[in-house]
Chains A and B, each alone.
Chain A
Amino acid sequence: MDLIGQIFSLKVLSQIFVGLSRTTILFTVSSGMSLILGVLRIPNVAHGSLYMIGAFTAYTTSVAFGGGNLGFWMSLIIAPIVVAIISFLAERAFFQFLYEREHLMLLLLTFALSLIFGDFVKMIWGAEYKSVPVPPVFQGYVHLFGGLPFPLYNFFLLIVGPIIAVILWLLVNKTKIGKIAMAAAVDREMVSAVGINVSWIFAVVFVIGCLLAGLGGVLVAPTVSVTLGMDHTIIMEAFLIVIMGGLGNIWGALMGALVFGLAQSLGILIWPQFGIVFPYAAVIVVLLFRPRGLLKSTW
């Protein structure tokens, strides 16, 4: 009885909810990465930079609109658009010439891009910490299960996560472009043989994937301090989630994000100093038993 009581204690429950709201961020970023990996076969290291740019743009937007609710909603619109434009330019200028090259070259190209983006961010926003205020609508706490205080903004994230997942599902399975993109992921030449301009499909998929990174950056901005170097952390986590879920599988990314987020939040309870080790250990355990990821990869 005592053990069960401990497991379901409020502390654990609240950590689970913290983990789930973290999962939203992780899923948003890594589903975009998974999409790009699955369809375009690019291991996109610059994804983290776009997430960082999203967060910094959210900061600028919220300052420009006075830091209130309007600033938050505007940043939710403007930052992904900014990121989408940047990624579109990058795709047309560089990536479209390199789809046939080795993965290693693509990885290094995206790394070069991430270095360049990183320095641009440093030039524009400086090296100091920036903090984005939690919008007034989402300030305060909700009480879950009668008496468990939980930040309202994290609750908002819990709702946003499934919405993004549903939109992605609709986009991939119910629209023509999604179906073409999935077909192109399997056999690129066949799709172009039936008269579809694969190059543009790829551009659209790339932009959507990057837009998700930017959106993740906006969503995370009020909960962390926005700083240089946040790209390095998220890219690592997103990589791990994508490989744990199965390369290119968006639902794999969702499962991976769940495992990662929960391992992170519960690990802190078990062993505070090394809490951060648990998600990495979880990835390794998963990959030991399923080397190709939890779900089927599109490769």
Chain B
Amino acid sequence: MENSFLKGKGKIYWIAGLIILILIPLVLPRFYTYLTSIILLTGLLSTSLNIVLGYGGIFQFHHAVFYGAGAYATALMIMKSGLSPWLGFIVGPLVSALLSLIMGIICIRLSKLYFGMLQISLGSLVWIIVYRWYSFTGGDDGIHGVPVPDIISSSTSAYYFTLIVTIICFIIIYKILKSPFGSVLQGIRDNPVRSEMLGINVKRHQLLALVIAGFFAGIAGSLFVVVDNTVFPDMLFWTLSLEILIMCLLGGWFSFFGPMLGAAIIIILRTFVSTFTSYWTLVLGILMMFVIFFLPNGVLGYVEEKLKKRT
């Protein structure tokens, strides 16, 4: 993968892809610009989950909480504080990272399924508070029409903002995963006991990974505020968390770009299936079962396997 990312022969494909992404708002109608923005930020969200899930082997069942928390923190900063809106985009991810730290400290003592279930319960508490606190968070209506700075308020400029932030985040995540820290994380995933024996502080590394993942999920949440100007409590609901998990699985969670691909597939499918039928979740469920039974490594995992066989 080292070769395919910004280096060597793969470089030309990346530049081509980037040019296409830059051209999208100029060529396609506004709706597709919006759709692509959503795909980018959801891809960032699922990739941030994959830091802990695919690379860390932690059962992060309730990742959406950090996404929603980031979005709510950004929106509330803009609406209620009266400070510069740009500050909201910094506060959002920081709140997510802080929440991730608090939840991580509580959950990290447990492992695997216990961790996931405790996290779901803590996340539901956050969801319920957001859902019920009408005076502050707007309850089940959410917050609509969040005013973002003029420079990123049109759909085109929001798109470019999302694109730039997403690319920067992807590069940072990639660097993190390729750093010694990333290697240690993968070592912990493959053999926690052995890593412990080698003198690695397993819990501390996992906790740091959780905070990083929460931070990037918060960025994705802030981007959603930029693109859509709304926040609503479903952004922290656990079904969304499982949908993100599905994206990771569908794209392939042992590949860096798998979650991004999964997010793209699911969002495009949802958009087009929804125009034909109101039974989108049925389609998603069937697709999901197909993936679990026949493509356990996801689409990208499958392609990589085929490519390896050919060479």
Using CB atoms and an 8 Å cutoff, list the residues of chain A in contact with chain B: 43, 45, 94, 97-98, 103-105, 107-109, 111-116, 118-120, 122-123, 232, 236, 239-240, 242-243, 247, 273-274, 276-277, 280-281, 283-284, 287-288, 291-292
Contact = CB atoms under 8 A, between A and B. Distances in A.
Given A43-B117, A236-B124, A287-B121, A277 B129 contact: yes
A105 B125 CA distance: 25
B218 to A, nearest CB: 22
B279 to A, nearest CB: 5
Contact of B289 (A94, A247, A273): A94
- Is chain B's binding surface mostly helix, strand, loop or mixed? helix
- Is chain A's binding surface mostly helix, strand, loop or mixed? helix
Contacts of B237: 232
Given A119-B281, A276-B132, A277-B132, A108 B124 contact: no
Give me the 10 closest cross-chain CB pairs, A-B, nearest first.
A115-B285, A112-B288, A119-B282, A116-B285, A280-B125, A115-B281, A112-B285, A243-B117, A119-B279, A111-B242
A31 to B, nearest CB: 17
Centre residue among A107, A119, A273 by max chain B CB count within 10 A = A119
Contacts of A247: 113-114
A81 B225 CA distance: 47
Given A109-B292, A115-B282, A116-B286, A287 B118 contact: yes
A222 to B, nearest CB: 26
Contact of A276 (B59, B128, B278, B285): B128
Contacts of A114: 285
B188 interface: no
Given A108-B292, A112-B288, A119-B282, A43 B121 contact: no
B191 to A, nearest CB: 16
B122 interface: yes
A118 B286 CA distance: 12
B99 to A, nearest CB: 14
Interface in B220-256: 237-239, 242, 245-246, 249
A280 B123 CA distance: 10
Centre residue among A97, A114, A280 by max chain B CB count within 10 A = A280
B121 A280 contact: yes
A108 B121 contact: no
19 contacts: A94-B289, A103-B113, A104-B245, A105-B249, A115-B282, A119-B281, A232-B238, A232-B239, A236-B120, A236-B124, A236-B238, A239-B120, A240-B121, A242-B117, A276-B132, A281-B125, A283-B121, A284-B121, A292-B110
A108 B118 contact: no
A123 B282 CA distance: 10
